[in-house]
Amino acid sequence: MGKKGVLIALVVMLFCGKGQPVWAVPSLEINGKAAVLLDANTKQVLYEKNKDEKLPPASITKILTVIIAIESGKMNDTVTVSANPPLLDGTRVYLEEGEKVKVGRLAIAALVHSANDAALAIAEYLGGTEENFARIMNEKAREIGAQNSNFVNAHGLHADDHYTTAYDIGLIACYAMQNETFRKIAQMKTYDWNGQAWQTRLINKNQLLWSYDGCTGIKTGYTKEAKCTIAASAERDQRSLIAVSLACVGNNSWTDAKTLLDYGFNNFQNLEIANPEQVAARVQVEEDKELLLVPERALAISVPQGSYQKVESRVMLEPFNKQVNKGQVSGKMEFYLDGERVGAVNLIAQNSLTVSSRSIFEYFLFGIAGIYLCQITWRLYRRYRPRKRGMFSRGRHSRALFR
């Protein structure tokens, strides 16, 4: 922000129900060595167990591989399979050297069937070599915010320097599930595979797609060294959650995912803290002129049911001079829950105006605390407002995508 920027901070107390004022995190029986539960929209950590411990991810590595493939814009490109993918161990679609397959079909095979050969074929096509693709993976992970991971291959077969954390995988999963194409693939229960050497119907290895109400993905994994790993997503009542568990024994990964998701759905609710239809700030510009600022989009955060919460909102104005146009981004509002940033929205001008020769930053920003507090109090007294349709939708068998 420029040196002329204005920062206004206010603190409001949010009362969610009539429960106890202190929120005590219950003790969950989680088998995995590390686990995390995230709000998929805000990336709030709702539960964690050793979330930053570095562990091998196994095949949930492919979440990052597939989202990179999708974002490359080359899903309809045709790959000529090299001699390397057919040599891989583990789950495969039995690609053969010289076989021609579209990147999109390889991405589906990697995410739905966990095909190691498909993941390597993607890596070699997009990166030239698997080593170069691993560099792309690590760059993307850092961009997403996954700071404690290192990837050396695209498929997740064990390698000494191939590791991640439950929190990093959660962030990568949140990011990937924002992509419509990725969501569609993650929700596919089956997919018809017509390869050169193998023709079959691929069955998604994520059992939760069949057994857990609202499940929308994402990926499971297993190696002897990593044990069982899982990144699961689900949506209920306009709430979207991501659960991750690493280093589980046997079928306990399914139990962990269900336990985490149930905990999130049963103990938290959405609280809308930004509404584009309601004024968030007023700037008095000259005696008879007023600039109204509204959020660019709606924003809701997860808050514990029956708890006493403190949300701090900070308003930062963008530098501008004489003319302000309706719809112009004029600032930002950030939200903090217990000192942790849980979201931000741009503030846009609801009206156009022209000011005198003085900079608008010489004028007085007023009324924001009262206005915003009234909005929040009103919302809470009528229960929390249901959000619009969530970011996930249920999936089904697909034949049409990337034939």
Q: Catalytic residue positions? A: 59, 62, 114
**∠ CA 247-251-255, rounded to 5°:** 85
SS3 394: coil
Q: Please state, in angstroms and rounded to a whole number, the distance separating the CA atoms of residues 116 and 91.
A: 6
Q: Please state, in angstroms and rounded to a whole number, the distance separating the CA atoms of residues 240 and 192.
A: 29
SS3 330: strand
Distances (CA, A) of 62 to 52, 240, 367: 20, 21, 49
Q: Check residue 55 and report its DSSP letter.
A: B
Tokens matching residue 38? 């995230």
Q: Please state, in angstroms and rounded to a whole number, the distance separating the CA atoms of residues 369 and 205.
A: 50
Q: Please state, in angstroms and rounded to a whole number, the distance separating the CA atoms of residues 119 and 185.
A: 14
Tokens matching residue 271? 């609280």
Pair 177, 68: CB distance under 8 Å:
no
Q: Please state, in angstroms and rounded to a whole number, the distance separating the CA atoms of residues 282 and 369.
A: 10
Beta bridge partners of 349: 293
290: left (phi over 0), alpha (psi -120 to 50) or beta: beta
Tokens matching residue 192? 């018809």
Pair 301, 39: CB distance under 8 Å:
yes
- Exposed e or buried b per residue across 240-268, where buried means at least 16 C-beta atoms within 10 angstroms of its C-beta: bbbbbbbbbeeebbbbbbbbbbbbbbebb
Cα end-to-end span (Å), the chain: 47
Contacts of 379 (CB under 8 A, 6+ apart): 271, 272, 385
